[in-house]
Amino acid sequence: MNGSIFHHTMMKNKVPIFISFLLLTGLTMIGENPLLPQEIKAAERVNPGAYVEFGTYNEEPILWRVIDQDEEGNSLLYSNKILMLKAFDAKGDAHSDSTRQDSGSNNWKESTLRQWLNSSEARINWTKNEPNYRNVYQGWNPYHEEAGFLHESNFTKEERKAIKSSTITTKSHLIEGGESYTTEDQVFLLSKEEYNNYKLNLLGESQPTSKAVENSSFVDSNLNPDKNWSKFLRTKDSGTNPSALYSVGITGNVSGGTYAYRGSIGVAPALWLNLETLTIKFEEGSEESPHRILGRDRDSDGTLRENEEQRKKGLIAPLMMITFTGAGVYYLIISIQQLISKSSIHFNNFLILFAFPLVTVSIGIGIVIVLDQGGAIMDFFHQL
């Protein structure tokens, strides 16, 4: 009798302990679980000359070349390819100068391209003329309805935070006084001087990406991914035309006379990046095998990771499944032990011993079915 009471007492004590263990295990999974992807702090900086992948455009990774580093270790990235063809600036009545009304402005500070490159908005509220088909030459490649370059479809929140805001110096046209001015930009075009400075060692001639060619409304037999194409610089040319800019030609040489509103010219952005806040998957650093730079909210395969709150919600279903199923299995094992230790068992005891674990498991499965509408269970086991 005393042995039976002792065994019953132990059973009462073991059950809450076991269930508590299951709950703690599940809560640990929701917090820091070594089996789930963890954030890796960049152990070293990527050296100038290396190739890296960072962000996406047109649903493809962007390949960059590291062309400089500052004293703080921030890296200057320059797009290795022409990512898109766009006008530097839209023409229109918002310009006070008649030439710019007809051909756009060569002023980087007021350009539509600068506004687009530095915007994360899904729909941009243009400060001057919209770069629509009426305001770009021949209607080629309007972008007035396109989400900004820094939109979340291209860069995650963590990746945007790692892009430094830099003080950019550009020389103005005589209309603005001919003096140099500064802008604060996250993304920018290289100036003529910057391009020539980096060109000797790091910059080659640029070809457009396949998507840049595919998405261009401007068509030319020489516009293809295997051939060089011209691209804008942010510097006004040396003449008096307030619409003309320097650009890099197909030979890699810099020349002036490129009108701002031409939507047939390539765009190769540049940006300063703080690598220390990002995850780096080190490869060879070559064009064929670039380092991969990821925000902490992007998985190692480059796909966008759900935020922490969503991830915790997604693990509720696995937690409930583990808890209820574990409790049910535990009771089932105890039930089998009871049967083995007794030569006979009353029908009521049979219901208690077997029905309870079965009901417990059923409840767990039911909760999982209700909560797992987004496939959290499959995602959970896929991560394992």
Query: Which range, 26-30, 340-344, 372-376, has the best average confidence (pLDDT)?
Result: 340-344
Pair of tokens at residue 160: 């945007």
Res 90 pLDDT > 90? yes
Pair of tokens at residue 285: 């650093």
Is 263 part of any domain? yes
Q: What is the pLDDT of residues 146-186, one digit of tens each?
A: 999 999 999 999 999 999 999 999 988 877 777 899 999 99
State the pairing for strand pair 187-188/180-185.
unpaired
Q: What is the mean pLDDT of the chain?
A: 80
Residues 240 and 310 in one domain: no
How many domains does the chain contain in total? Answer: 2
Q: Give the number of other CB atoms < 10 A from CB of residue 174.
A: 10
Handedness of CA 223, 226, 232, 238 (dihedral sign): negative
Q: For 44, what's the count of Cα atoms within 13 Å in the CB-facing half-sphere?
A: 6
Q: Give the number of other CB atoms < 10 A from CB of residue 181.
A: 14
Q: Residue 103: in which H helix or E strand, if any?
A: helix 98-103
Residues 203 and 277 in one domain: yes
Pick from 184, 271, 270: nearest CA to 231: 270
Q: What is the pLDDT of residues 22-34, one digit of tens each?
A: 444 444 444 444 4
Mean pLDDT of 261-268: 98
Is 46 part of any domain? no
Residues 228 and 248 in one domain: yes
Is 42 part of any domain? no
pTM, full prediction: 0.70
Reported as a pLDDT band with limits 50, 70 and 90, residue 45 is: low
Burial of 343 (0-12, 13-18, 19+ CB in 10 A): exposed
Mention every residue, 6+ apart, whose C-beta is less than 8 A from residue 330: 15, 18, 357
Is 128 part of any domain? yes
Res 5 pLDDT > 60? no
Is 299 part of any domain? no
Pair of tokens at residue 295: 């925000």
DSSP-assigned beta bridge partners for residue 51: 65
Mean pLDDT of 231-240: 94
Final residue of a structural domain among 294, 314, 344:
294
Would you say 262 and 111 are in contact if contact means Cβ atoms under 8 Å apart? no
Residues 273 and 363 in one domain: no
CA distance 338 to 360: 19
Pair of tokens at residue 114: 């600068």
CA distance 232 to 325: 63
Instruction: Tell me how far the alpha carbon of residue 60 is from its chain's centroid.
Output: 11
Phi, psi of 75 (to 5 degrees): -105, 140
Residues 182 and 262 in one domain: yes
Handedness of CA 367, 371, 375, 378 (dihedral sign): negative
Residues 26 and 85 in one domain: no
Residues 98 and 191 in one domain: yes
Mean pLDDT of 179-195: 95
Would you say 114 and 241 are in contact if contact means Cβ atoms under 8 Å apart? no
Q: What is the pLDDT of residues 278-325, one digit of tens each?
A: 888 889 999 999 999 988 777 666 666 655 455 555 555 566 656 666
Q: Residue 44: in which H helix or E strand, if any?
A: none
Is 300 part of any domain? no
Residues 250 and 174 in one domain: yes
Res 272 pLDDT > 90? yes
Is 339 part of any domain? yes
Mention every residue, 6+ apart, whose C-beta is less than 8 A from residue 350: none
Q: For 198, what's the count of Cα atoms within 13 Å in the CB-facing half-sphere?
A: 21
* More confident: 333 or 9: 333
Q: State what percent of residues in the chain have pLDDT above 90.
A: 53
Res 4 pLDDT > 60? no
Residues 211 and 136 in one domain: yes
Mention every residue, 6+ apart, whose C-beta is less than 8 A from residue 1: none
Mean pLDDT of 197-204: 75
Residues 320 and 351 in one domain: yes
Is 43 part of any domain? no
Instruction: Tell me how far the alpha carbon of residue 24 is from its chain's centroid.
Output: 33
Final residue of a structural domain among 269, 294, 319:
294
Note down the domain range covering 330: 2-36+306-383
47 DSSP assignment:
P
CA distance 353 to 339: 9
Reported as a pLDDT band with limits 50, 70 and 90, residue 343 is: low
Residues 331 and 262 in one domain: no
Would you say 83 and 215 are in contact if contact means Cβ atoms under 8 Å apart? no
Reported as a pLDDT band with limits 50, 70 and 90, residue 199 is: confident
Final residue of a structural domain among 294, 324, 355:
294
Res 107 pLDDT > 80? yes
Mean pLDDT of 347-360: 58
N-to-C CA span, the chain: 47
The CA-based angle 192-162-287, given to 5 degrees, is: 60
Instruction: Tell me how far the alpha carbon of residue 3 is from its chain's centroid.
Output: 64
